[in-house]
Amino acid sequence: MYNNYIKFNIPYEAKSSKKNILKVLKNKKFADGEFQKKCQLFIQNKINSKCVELTHSCSSALEIAMLLINLKKNDEVIMPSYTFTSTANAVLLCGGKPVFVDVRSDDINLDPKLVEKKINKKTKAIIVVHYAGNSCDMSYFLKLKKKHNIYLIEDAAHSFLGKYKDKYLGTIGDFGAFSFHETKNFVGGQCGALSINNIKFRKQAKIILDKGTDRSLLNNKKKYYSWKGIGSEYRATELSSALLFGQLSKYNYIQKSRERIWNIYFKKFKKNGDKNFYILKKNTKFKASAHHVFILIFKSLNLRNKFILYMKRQGIECFFHYYPLHMSNFGKKIKKIKLPVTEKIYKGLVRLPLYPSLKLSEINRIIKFSKKFVNSI
């Protein structure tokens, strides 16, 4: 029907990224190079972090955090079920046990009151996920951290440059893990980053990142590095870093573009919410969203699926999101539970296209057919 098929996501193409990549190819320095250091320094300064390490994924950043807190067999880590598998896998790979807790319906973030009920002597940490770029209630979680003497980790895969009050997400807990996967606001292929906010872990983090050696800690007095403990190849490649640094150099344009599109959607849809669907709003109480996705939540799985199919027929690509981890066959092996809010939301949730190169005519087309479907229900 339409020659101009609107994709769900198109990563921003920074002109300087190509130049950076060509420079890497010319210099033949593919690891621990100029752009890896530039990315780390940029992120660290921008978000006011004490220490940032660039990793090859957000998954690996979460794994490093679990190694740093010395997670052991039977240690429990509380987290939402409505998240990507990496959040739970990081815990399982260290022998720990994920404990899934329900989310709030207004922001799809962990319900802190339900979290507190799950804390026991086996609880080692809480992983909060700032879903869709909206902050969790970090004041409440910081109180829980202090009261129960446990670690607090931020899965900020959706939330680079989002804020909670006057602090950037990912810098509030002991650690913050970021994603620069091609589906995120800023793209480095598949790389990520770890903000190490508890400075006592900085030295050990470098050892883990350097495959268990003290290579990056060497000084002029010591010529040879040695094996110090567990580690792996977690660092981002120089090619990924070169791609990412081009994107970071355009951070203001990328974020402002996403915010502008998000606000256009919100303005057009806010009066249309009814018994059949509602909009996931920005949590303005906690300050600045990262504007990662724009979400409609229908009242049923049937309506959601009909909407996605209808939009596809109009040449518009829309997607649902996660299948809750506790509902998967593997999740049921950990523990069979019911999380009513999570289970209700996943059935109705759908994401609209949102990226800087989305044209106003395309945005209006998305809105036009979305409203047409809603009005026909």
Domain range annotation of the chain: 15-248, 251-376
Percent of all residues in the chain with a pLDDT value above 70, rounded to a whole number: 95
- Residue 295 three-state SS: strand
> Which pLDDT band, with edges at 50, 70 and 90, does 5 fall under?
very high
> For residue 279, what pLDDT is reported?
83
> Which pLDDT band, with edges at 50, 70 and 90, does 12 fall under?
very high
Structure tokens at 355: 């990226």
Going by C-alpha positions, the residue among 140, 134, 123 that lies closest to residue 157 is 134
- Tens-digit pLDDT profile for residues 245-279: 999 999 999 999 999 999 999 998 876 556 677 88
Average pLDDT in the 363-372 region?
A: 95
Query: How long, in residues, is the chain?
Result: 377
Contact call for residues 140 and 121 (beta carbons, < 8 A): no
Tell which phi-psi region holds residue 31, choosing left (phi > 0), alpha (psi between -120 and 50) or beta.
Answer: beta
CATH number of 251-376: 3.90.1150.10
> For residue 41, what pLDDT is reported?
97
Q: Can you give the pTM of this predicted structure?
A: 0.95
Pairing of strands 175-181, 151-155: parallel
Structure tokens at 243: 């791609």
- Tens-digit pLDDT profile for residues 210-223: 999 988 887 666 67
pLDDT > 70? residue 87: yes
pLDDT > 60? residue 1: no
Pairing of strands 277-279, 294-298: antiparallel
Answer whether 15-248 and 251-376 agree in fold. Answer: no
> For residue 375, what pLDDT is reported?
86
pLDDT > 90? residue 283: no
Answer whether CATH 3.40.50.300 is correct for domain 15-248: no
> Which pLDDT band, with edges at 50, 70 and 90, does 30 fall under?
confident
Amino acid sitting at position 233 = E
How many CB atoms neighbour CB 308 within 10 A?
Answer: 18
pLDDT > 60? residue 296: yes
What are the angstrom distances between the C-alpha of 289 and each of 74, 213, 296? 35, 38, 17
Beta strands in the chain (DSSP E): 52-55, 76-80, 97-101, 123-129, 151-155, 163-164, 167-168, 175-181, 190-196, 277-279, 294-298, 349-352
Structure tokens at 340: 């009513």
CA dist 288 and 282 (Å) reads: 8
Going by C-alpha positions, the residue among 182, 154, 215, 205 that lies closest to residue 40 is 205
> For residue 277, what pLDDT is reported?
79
Average pLDDT in the 89-108 region?
A: 96
Helix ranges, 78-157 (H): 85-92, 112-118, 138-148
pLDDT > 90? residue 2: no
> For residue 35, what pLDDT is reported?
96
Contact call for residues 120 and 357 (beta carbons, < 8 A): no
pLDDT > 80? residue 342: yes
Phi, psi at 347, each rounded to 5°: -65, -30
Residue 38, CB half-sphere, CA atoms under 13 Å: how many?
18
- Tens-digit pLDDT profile for residues 154-193: 999 999 999 999 999 999 999 999 999 999 999 998 899 9
Amino acid sitting at position 217 = L
pLDDT > 60? residue 334: yes
Going by C-alpha positions, the residue among 141, 160, 143, 129 that lies closest to residue 49 is 160
- The 8-class DSSP code of residue 27 comes to H
* End-to-end Cα separation, the chain, in angstroms: 22
> Which pLDDT band, with edges at 50, 70 and 90, does 73 fall under?
very high
Q: What is the mean pLDDT of the chain?
A: 93
> For residue 96, what pLDDT is reported?
97
CA dist 90 and 111 (Å) reads: 21
Contact call for residues 212 and 231 (beta carbons, < 8 A): yes
> For residue 216, what pLDDT is reported?
83
> For residue 217, what pLDDT is reported?
81
Amino acid sitting at position 360 = L
